[in-house]
Amino acid sequence: ADPELLIGSQAGTTNFYAAVYNVLDGDEANPRIKLFDTFGASVQALLNGDVDMVLTDAASSKGYIGANPDKLKVVGGPLASEDFGFIFTPGSDLVAPFNAAITSMQDDGFFDHLNTKWFFVYEPGQ
| Domain parsing of the chain, residue ranges | 7-67
Assess contact for 82 and 15: CB atoms under 8 A: no
First to last CA, the chain: 22
**pLDDT computed for residue 120 by the predictor:** 56
**Other CB atoms within 10 A of residue 1 CB:** 6
Q: In whole angstroms, give the CA distance from residue 9 to residue 21.
A: 13
State the DSSP H helix or E strand holding residue 72, giving kind and residue range, or none if neither: none
Q: Of 33, 32, 31, nearest to 10 (Cα)?
A: 33
**pLDDT computed for residue 29 by the predictor:** 94
Assess contact for 69 and 62: CB atoms under 8 A: no
Instruction: Indicate the SS3 state at residue 65.
Output: helix
**pLDDT tens figures, 77-110:** 777 666 667 788 889 998 899 889 889 988 998 8
**pLDDT computed for residue 123 by the predictor:** 53
| Cα angle, residue 10 at apex, residues 76 and 112 outer, rounded to 5° | 55
